[in-house]
Chains A and B, each alone.
Chain A
Amino acid sequence: MVKYLASGALLLGLGCGSFADPAVVVDLRALAITAEPPEQLLDIDISKPPTAEELLAQLKPIDVCALLQNPGDPRPLRWQLSVCGGDINDRCPEAEALIVFGTGVVGNPGNVSPEPKVCATLQPSLNLLFIVQQAINNDQISGLGGINVNVELKFAVDEDFATAPLYATKKIVLSPRIPAERQANRNPVVSTYTAQIAPAAKQPFGDAAPLPLGRCIDLAMANQTPFTVAAGNRVRITPVEPPDAREPYVVPTLSGGSRMFTESLTYQWLATFGGFTAPNTGGPRDAFGNPALLYTDWKVPSDIAEPRDVSLWILPRDERKGSAWAETCIRVVP
């Protein structure tokens, strides 16, 4: 009796169907949003709610920037940044209190030099305080774990903005300074990456070399040659973290104490062509105690007829909603 084969077939049945690779950017997408600073600490006593004026005096302006891409489509993009308490879908419904703090139209970010900025600054205001206060009131632990204020990015090709917009969201964090030694989070800073090339899969990699950062369009405008690899190669890209890249931090516990941790950075890898052996690397140790690998191997397709410049994005993030991005360009030759 081969009855258990049925179970195997069941599992096979679960796995059928395939979708586009999320690590390959082929159309309009938001790839990242950063806030500077990503977190602000407020000196408040959660058992004695502060006045609006007291809170307002402590808030600083927050610069919010987004990375949009729309490969192969030269049309300009319209965008809008808002802040609100956020609904169940992390959107800013118009019926809710919201602040639109930035809007604009930019040329296609991949085709325009210098790089168009999708940035705006959220200024402290009573309206912002109202949103924060609502969030605190809705929080069962009175903001002990920090209040996440929802930033919504609404974007689209200009003519589709009114009818078919896309949405992205980011949280800016306002936390009470509990315990007293708590420090606000900073965005991760990783500015160096190395590249190693292997002729094919399962072949040894060569020596590591710094991977130049920069956009393809900027390199082309400057008549610079991008990092070049042959079709069918593998490129191992490794972040080189500075010693202070992973911040130690302390958080309050629900029971009234505090715990100390060290950040575990993650890296998301995106490209306009090819694929990655691991589209996400880094993070905490796994269940077996292995430290997470930081690098990924970019798989260069072998079936290309002419040289092609490929944009790659590396998105470091920490677990406290800090984020950054870096962009590089790799030329693939047949």
Chain B
Amino acid sequence: MICRSPNVVAAWSTGLALLLGGTAAVVAQPAANPSVPAAAPAGKLTKPPALLQSIAPEYPAAALAAGKSASVKVRLHIDAVGTVTSVDVLEPVGDGFDAAAVAAAMQYVFDPAEFDGKPGPIVVETAINFVIEVAPAAPAPTPPPPTNGTATDAPLNHGGEMSTPIALSGTVVERGNRRKLGGIIVSIAELGIDAITDESGTFYFHGLQPGHYQVIAVDPNYDRLERPVVIEKGEAVEVRMWLRPLGGNPYESVVEGSRDSLEVTKRSLSREQLTSVPGTFGDPIRVVQSLPGLARAPFGLGLLLVRGSNPDDTGVFIDGHEVPLLFHFLGGPSILNPDMVGGLDLYPGGFPARFGRHHGGVVSIDSRPSTSDGIHGDVNINLLDTSAYVRAPITKNLSLAVAGRRSYIDAFLGYVLPDPGPGQTQIVVPIYYDYQARLDWNLQRNGRLSLFAIGSGDSLRVLSSSEEEMQSQDLSSAVKFFRVIGTYARPAWRDLTLSLSPAFGRDTVAFAGGQTDGAGPFTSLSAIQTTLSYRMRLTGKVNKWLSLDTGLDTQSRVNEYRAKIPLTDDLANASGVDVPPELVLQTANIVGLGAYADVGINVTPRWRVVPSLRADGYAIGGQTRYAIDPRIVTRYAATDLWTFKGYLGKFTQPPQPEALDTRFGNPLLGLETGYHVGAGFEWRPNRLWLLDTEAYYIWRNDLVVFSRDFDSAGSGFSREFWTNRGKNHAYGLEGLIRREISERVFGWLSYTFLVARQQRAPDEKETPTTFDQMHTLNAVVSFKPGGGWELGAKFRLSSGRPGTPIIDSTFDADSGTYTQVRGEIRSVRLPLFSQLDLRAEKTWLFEQWSLSTFLDIQNVYNATNVEAVRYDYRFRNSAPVSSLPFLPTIGVRGRW
């Protein structure tokens, strides 16, 4: 049955793979052809062109509605660098297929042909097939052999004379993970017939005479596979063809259509890029730190230091909902399993209006759909923890992915800790875990529903006692986090998509300390933040001139503090005072409602203007705050290669919840405001390379800074704690040269020039910010030479952070310590930072699964990078505090 609904998927295939199989005609460029450069080499073809990147053609809507399919024979003119310069339709078929085929083929990228070992232009002929996916009404049985009909009526995965019985059938699967491969050309060399596997990877050949055959499966992303088959008289043979990805485990193909873009500067990373950059532990957030716009975080911490802003000023969103940036202890990896990440976008500035409540930058993470053709997953076992990931279909339209990690440091830590000595006990129990799950339900024409859950926990229990000293400690601390995000998306009007997404979450930080034989904790702190958010979004193309992204988002955050602590906020000087702990309960609420619209207007086919408006209202402790943030961005494609861009906008951010506390904060704080202005250009000589530069200026006002001031309050005084007196401005220049991901290589070179200054009070001198770094250079490359190897390198070079010199000291006789005499604030800098990280990974593919092992070496040449300076007790002598020394790590991972 042929489906003719909006959910019909247009499948396409091309016979280009046959080039690699050697069964298609490869025509050397005839000199007389007017479309061929005059300098075309005339030597012997020593290497045919190889398809590096392709894009699915757009299925003609009218033809789709009419259920028409077609095969368009085309001739591709490929230049000496592998770019398609022109496409000729050899046999026009009409119905819009010809234009669609040409448009798609023009975006192909090839490894160029070689003549006598030198790259040169070439012309090749191939066919681009358009077929409507066949969706059987019932679970697909083995297709019966057609008894009549003609070859032209046959599905593409059938080869030979359809009126004859099936003699050979099979399935093409990917080696290592058993993924069924569609669109693979399967040929019987002796007969010159072929079939193209369908989405389930199956193929059928009819009417083969008894005999020996060579079955060939070819695809540009896989090693060519030849397999001998013997057909006996009266028998039907079934085979399974295991295709090995090029290079062992290729970067998954990135077939990304031209997404409707309403932003100026968005730097995207795919999951494969997030997991294979050296020195990042497969941690998505740490990979982002290598992109332009971010300063280097000290000590390898996962801070996002975007364009001179504080880490809290940059929002991290998962599936559109804000989440805290969390890492396991010891500055370990983030709680997000990279297998659950579909993609990641960094907006260092001028971001769309759909992101609000931040004036730094935005990191937007999409969870990876669980859609799968079978049960796949991986297991990662190491000394400290084990993690696993599984995704599987439950029904035809329902699928599930789960991931989890649990540490077992607690099991062996007791063996490595020093003996506490006689009369003393010490028990240390650190545990961390995280989990993610995603359920996807395809409602067909009614849309898609997904549910994503993510959570983590880090707990530490320390018990120690000393009989002699009559001292004991019972410490328990826990940091827990979870979010549940639901998303329902369905087609709306025209090409617009409506999505509704509620989310609920809770973040808990708890600490309790007491004596081991105590009746309860002597001191404790429990801070719970409950977040409820909801987003409604309508996005897509209205027509060829207009795109829209509009919606509402609301977020409620309730912060509850329950603490038993020494309360000293009512004392003028509490230093050294033995204050008994008291119980205190505090609650702070922030409710934010935002409405936004990004309107993309194609003024001309090459010039797009996106005016945006975001309106936010906040209810903070019964008081309201408002903000109207207008923004505008524009992109102008001067040529096919050059695009110019610019933006200007206002960005508003509420204070952090703790700063608004009625007792320990200032509930009268206002909103922080930032203004971003920037301009730049992109040069994209082909689909694999990109040069992206941008200059910007950002100024931020009304920043919340700590205050030591007092206010008069009735008959006494009250502390101000926080005030909106801070200012900050930053300007810089960013450059990115990027090699997009392909079968064998990806990488980028990024440079960031940044000057960031701050003023904490109007009467204070302007100083560099804590993370002001004038120069930051990052180079990342990953290469697959073949044989299952992947080699990667990351090099970082950055200016040292500013510091304040200590020029003398004074002995404070009241405390018995020395106080430092400081020089000019942040007037000196730490030395230049440089570090090279390397990574080598070897993957062995087996039929059902794959095994990988890697060596990741951080700081290969053992550079002594100074991150801070320590001083002796009287600040006369200093010593550098260095970051990581030479550090090799190894790992093993199994996938199926």
Please list the residues of chain A having a beta carbon within 8 angstroms of any beta carbon in chain B. 1-11, 13-14, 16-17, 19-20, 22, 29-30, 32-34, 66, 89-91, 140-141, 144-146, 153, 166-171, 202, 251-257, 259, 261-264, 266, 268, 280, 283-285, 287-290, 293, 315, 317-319, 321, 323
Complex Cα distance, B808 from A167, in Å, reads 9
Other-chain contact of A169, B299, B385, B811 (Cβ < 8 Å)? B811
Complex Cα distance, B576 from A283, in Å, reads 7
Most chain A C-beta atoms within 10 Å of own C-beta, residue among B473, B566, B577? B577
Q: Chain B contacts of A32 at CB under 8 A?
A: 813, 816
Q: By the criterion CB–CB under 8 Å, are B471 and A290 in contact? A: yes
Other-chain contact of B881, A14, A30, A166, A268 (Cβ < 8 Å)? A14
**Nearest A-chain residue to B814, judged by Cβ:** A321
Residues 379-400 (chain B) with a chain A CB within 8 angstroms: 380-385
Q: Least Cβ distance of A289 to chain B in Å?
A: 3
**Nearest B-chain residue to A33, judged by Cβ:** B813
Q: Chain B contacts of A290 at CB under 8 A?
A: 471-473, 515
Complex Cα distance, B475 from A185, in Å, reads 36
Most chain B C-beta atoms within 10 Å of own C-beta, residue among A146, A256, A266, A290? A290
List the 8 shortest-distance A-B pairs measured between CB atoms, nearest first.
A145-B572, A1-B891, A319-B576, A289-B522, A22-B873, A17-B879, A7-B330, A19-B872
**Nearest A-chain residue to B385, judged by Cβ:** A4
Subset of 10 A-B contacts with CB under 8 Å: A1-B892, A7-B330, A9-B884, A13-B881, A16-B879, A140-B710, A169-B810, A255-B718, A264-B577, A289-B515
Q: Chain A contacts of B879 at CB under 8 A?
A: 16-17, 19
Q: By the criterion CB–CB under 8 Å, are A315 and B816 in contact? A: yes
Q: Chain B contacts of A318 at CB under 8 A?
A: 576
Complex Cα distance, B812 from A32, in Å, reads 9
Q: Chain A contacts of B812 at CB under 8 A?
A: 90, 168-170
Residues 568-619 (chain B) with a chain A CB within 8 angstroms: 570-573, 575-579
Q: Least Cβ distance of A282 to chain B in Å?
A: 10
Q: Chain B contacts of A14 at CB under 8 A?
A: 299, 881
Other-chain contact of B873, A3, A19, A288 (Cβ < 8 Å)? A19
Q: Chain A contacts of B421 at CB under 8 A?
A: 202
Q: By the criterion CB–CB under 8 Å, are A2 and B891 in contact? A: yes
Q: By the criterion CB–CB under 8 Å, are B810 and A9 in contact? A: no
Residues 457-479 (chain B) with a chain A CB within 8 angstroms: 469, 471-475
**Nearest B-chain residue to A205, judged by Cβ:** B468
Q: Least Cβ distance of B115 to chain A in Å?
A: 46
Q: By the criterion CB–CB under 8 Å, are A89 and B810 in contact? A: yes
Q: Verify if B67 is at the interface (C-beta below 8 Å from A).
A: no
Q: Verify if B163 is at the interface (C-beta below 8 Å from A).
A: no
Known contacts A287-B522, A289-B522; A9 and B331 CB within 8 A of each other: no
Complex Cα distance, B812 from A66, in Å, reads 12
Complex Cα distance, B472 from A2, in Å, reads 33
Q: By the criterion CB–CB under 8 Å, are B882 and A16 in contact? A: yes
**Nearest B-chain residue to A261, judged by Cβ:** B577
Complex Cα distance, B882 from A248, in Å, reads 47
Q: Least Cβ distance of B868 to chain A in Å?
A: 8
Complex Cα distance, B332 from A251, in Å, reads 45
Q: By the criterion CB–CB under 8 Å, are B718 and A254 in contact? A: yes
**Nearest A-chain residue to B711, judged by Cβ:** A140
Known contacts A3-B891, A19-B877, A289-B515; A317 and B816 CB within 8 A of each other: yes
Q: Least Cβ distance of B17 to chain A in Å?
A: 36
Q: By the criterion CB–CB under 8 Å, are A254 and B572 in contact? A: yes
Q: By the criterion CB–CB under 8 Å, are B380 and A1 in contact? A: yes
Q: By the criterion CB–CB under 8 Å, are B717 and A141 in contact? A: yes
Q: By the criterion CB–CB under 8 Å, are B571 and A2 in contact? A: no
Known contacts A4-B332, A9-B887, A255-B718; A319 and B577 CB within 8 A of each other: yes
Known contacts A89-B810, A254-B572, A262-B578; A4 and B330 CB within 8 A of each other: yes
Q: By the criterion CB–CB under 8 Å, are B522 and A90 in contact? A: no
Known contacts A33-B813, A140-B717, A141-B717; A146 and B889 CB within 8 A of each other: no
Q: By the criterion CB–CB under 8 Å, are A1 and B578 in contact? A: no
Known contacts A1-B891, A9-B887, A13-B881; A145 and B573 CB within 8 A of each other: yes
Q: By the criterion CB–CB under 8 Å, are A167 and B572 in contact? A: no
Q: Least Cβ distance of B144 to chain A in Å?
A: 50
Q: Verify if B513 is at the interface (C-beta below 8 Å from A).
A: yes
Q: Least Cβ distance of A152 to chain B in Å?
A: 8
Complex Cα distance, B882 from A171, in Å, reads 37
Q: By the criterion CB–CB under 8 Å, are A6 and B300 in contact? A: yes
Other-chain contact of A284, B385, B472, B572, B577 (Cβ < 8 Å)? B577
**Nearest A-chain residue to B718, judged by Cβ:** A254
Other-chain contact of B300, A10, A254, A268 (Cβ < 8 Å)? A10
Q: Least Cβ distance of A332 to chain B in Å?
A: 24
Complex Cα distance, B573 from A217, in Å, reads 40
B812-831 to A contact mask, C-beta < 8 Å, 1/0: 11111001111000000000
Q: Chain A contacts of B381 at CB under 8 A?
A: 1
B787-823 to A contact mask, C-beta < 8 Å, 1/0: 0000000000000000000001111111110011110
Q: Least Cβ distance of A197 to chain B in Å?
A: 16
Q: Chain B contacts of A266 at CB under 8 A?
A: 576, 816
Q: Verify if B518 is at the interface (C-beta below 8 Å from A).
A: yes
Q: By the criterion CB–CB under 8 Å, are A30 and B383 in contact? A: no
**Nearest B-chain residue to A4, judged by Cβ:** B384
**Nearest B-chain residue to A47, judged by Cβ:** B715
Q: Least Cβ distance of B456 to chain A in Å?
A: 15
Q: Verify if B846 is at the interface (C-beta below 8 Å from A).
A: no
Q: Chain A contacts of B854 at CB under 8 A?
A: 1
Q: By the criterion CB–CB under 8 Å, are B816 and A254 in contact? A: no
Complex Cα distance, B576 from A250, in Å, reads 15
Q: Least Cβ distance of B372 to chain A in Å?
A: 24
Complex Cα distance, B883 from A16, in Å, reads 11
Q: Verify if B159 is at the interface (C-beta below 8 Å from A).
A: no
Q: Least Cβ distance of A62 to chain B in Å?
A: 14
Complex Cα distance, B710 from A1, in Å, reads 53
B696-735 to A contact mask, C-beta < 8 Å, 1/0: 0000000000000110011111110000000000000000
With A9-B885, A91-B821 known, 17 other A-B pairs at CB within 8 A are A1-B382, A1-B854, A1-B890, A2-B384, A2-B890, A2-B891, A3-B282, A13-B883, A19-B872, A89-B808, A145-B573, A262-B578, A284-B566, A288-B513, A290-B471, A315-B816, A317-B814
Complex Cα distance, B576 from A31, in Å, reads 20
Q: Verify if B350 is at the interface (C-beta below 8 Å from A).
A: no
B854-878 to A contact mask, C-beta < 8 Å, 1/0: 1010100000000000111110010
Complex Cα distance, B715 from A264, in Å, reads 30
Q: Least Cβ distance of B818 to chain A in Å?
A: 9
Q: Chain B contacts of A268 at CB under 8 A?
A: 816
Other-chain contact of A3, B281, B572, B810, B871 (Cβ < 8 Å)? B281
Known contacts A13-B883, A289-B522; A255 and B570 CB within 8 A of each other: yes
Q: By the criterion CB–CB under 8 Å, are A168 and B810 in contact? A: yes
Other-chain contact of B570, A20, A22, A259 (Cβ < 8 Å)? A259
**Nearest B-chain residue to A8, judged by Cβ:** B330
Q: Chain A contacts of B575 at CB under 8 A?
A: 319
Q: Least Cβ distance of B559 to chain A in Å?
A: 23
Complex Cα distance, B822 from A263, in Å, reads 32
Complex Cα distance, B819 from A153, in Å, reads 14
Q: By the criterion CB–CB under 8 Å, are A323 and B814 in contact? A: yes
Q: By the criterion CB–CB under 8 Å, are B819 and A264 in contact? A: no
Other-chain contact of B717, A33, A90, A254 (Cβ < 8 Å)? A254
Complex Cα distance, B515 from A171, in Å, reads 36
Complex Cα distance, B472 from A289, in Å, reads 9
**Nearest A-chain residue to B567, judged by Cβ:** A259
**Nearest A-chain residue to B383, judged by Cβ:** A2
Complex Cα distance, B518 from A3, in Å, reads 38
Q: By the criterion CB–CB under 8 Å, are A146 and B572 in contact? A: yes
Q: Chain A contacts of B820 at CB under 8 A?
A: 89
Complex Cα distance, B817 from A317, in Å, reads 12
